[in-house]
Amino acid sequence: MSSPDFPATLDPDRIPAHVAIIMDGNGRWARAQGKDRLYGHWQGYRTLKQIVYAADEIGIRYLTVYGFSSENWRRPAEEVEGLMRLMLEAMRAEIEELMQNGIRVRVLGRLSQLPSDLRREFSDAMERTRENTRLTFNLAINYGGRAEIVDAVRHLAKDLLEGRLSPESIEEETLSARLYAPDIPDPDLLIRTAGEMRLSNFLLWETAYAEIWVTPTPWPAFTRDHLLTAIADYQRRTRKFGAVVEEDDLS
C-alpha cells in the first residue's frame, strides 16, 4: 500500500530494494561555478542528505554511495584532508537526525587506514544506529571493489588453511559471505552522475546483475526528481539475470 503522497510515476510494488550511487562531478560542478573543488564536495553532501531521506520515503531499503575510493588518496593533500574533515563534520552533524528517522548507518571499506577521529565517529554511528529498521545507508569509504574481493579471499584462505573449508566446498556464496556487507542484497539499480560510463572499481562483485542508469547531471545538481526518473526507468526494464524472457512476458 502506498501513502497518498507516494510519487504517482512509480509502481510501489517494484521499488528497487537496493540502490547504489557513484556520486561524480563535484569538481566539475564547482569549477563551472567558479569555486574550488571542496565547495563542490560540500554541495555534494547537501545533495546526499536530500537523497538519503528521499530514498527512505519512497521505500528503498538499502542505499550505498561511493564516498571515497581507495584511489582517491592520489588527489592533492588539501582535497583529501578537506574530504576527511567534511565526512567527520557531516557525521557529527547528522547523527541525531539519522537516529530520529530510524536510518541505519554502515561504513564499508578498509577503515583502518582512515584518520582515527573519523574512524571513531564512523564506529559510533554504526553502533548507535545498529538496531534502526528503516533505510540502511551504506557509505563506501576507502573502498575499492578489487580490494573488497582480495579481503574476502584472504579471509577465505585463512578458513581454508585452518581447516574450516575445503577447496571443493567453495561456491559463489562462500566468497560473497566474506564481503564487507554479506547480509545486504546485491544492488538492483546503479546510478552514476556526471555522465561517465564506467564502474570505477565500485561494488564489482555485487553489481553483476544491477541495472545501470547514467545521467549527465553532476552530483551537486542531482535532485529527488532525478532519483524518481531513474527508478521509473528501472521499472520499465526487464531483468533477465541471464535467462531468456519470452515476448509474452514483456508487458
Q: At which residue does the C-alpha cell 528521499 appear?
A: 54
Stretch that binds ligand FPP, among 17-25, 104-112, 176-184, 223-231 (CB under 6 A): 17-25
Distance (Å, whole) CA 220 – CA 29: 7
Residue 156 contacts residue 178 (beta carbons within 8 Å)? yes
Q: What nine digits make up the cell of 69? A: 575510493
Q: What nine digits make up the cell of 235? A: 521499472
Q: What nine digits make up the cell of 53? A: 531521506
**Binding characters for ligand FPP, 213-232, by CB under 6 A (x = yes):** ------x-------------
82 makes contact with ligand FPP (CB under 6 A): no
Cβ count near 79 (within 10 Å): 15
Distance (Å, whole) CA 97 – CA 99: 5
**Sole binder of ligand FPP in the list 7, 25, 145, 187 (CB under 6 A):** 25
Stretch that binds ligand FPP, among 38-46, 145-153, 154-162, 222-230 (CB under 6 A): 38-46
Q: Least Å distance between CB 44 and ligand FPP?
A: 3
Cβ count near 218 (within 10 Å): 23
Cβ count near 188 (within 10 Å): 21
Three-state DSSP at 132 gives: coil
**Sole binder of ligand FPP in the list 2, 6, 17, 28 (CB under 6 A):** 28
Q: Least Å distance between CB 59 and ligand FPP?
A: 23
Question: Measured from the CB atom, is 18 or 37 closer to ligand FPP?
Answer: 37
> Angle, nearest 10°, between helix axes 224-236 and 37-57?
60
**Sole binder of ligand FPP in the list 20, 52, 58, 90 (CB under 6 A):** 90
137 makes contact with ligand FPP (CB under 6 A): no
Residue 99 contacts residue 65 (beta carbons within 8 Å)? no
Distance (Å, whole) CA 251 – CA 247: 8
Question: Measured from the CB atom, is 37 or 178 closer to ligand FPP?
Answer: 37
Q: Is 72 a catalytic residue?
A: yes
60 makes contact with ligand FPP (CB under 6 A): no
> Residues touching ligand FPP: how many (CB under 6 A)?
19
Residue 222 contacts residue 47 (beta carbons within 8 Å)? yes
Catalytic residue among 11, 13, 72, 186, which? 72
For the chain, give the longest Cα–Cα distance: 59
Residues between 179 and 218 that touch ligand FPP (CB under 6 A): 194
Stretch that binds ligand FPP, among 1-9, 42-50, 202-210, 241-249 (CB under 6 A): 42-50
Q: Is 24 a catalytic residue?
A: yes
Active site residues: 24, 72
Q: Contact positions toward ligand FPP, by CB under 6 A?
A: 23-28, 37, 41, 44-45, 48, 67, 72, 86-87, 90, 139, 194, 219
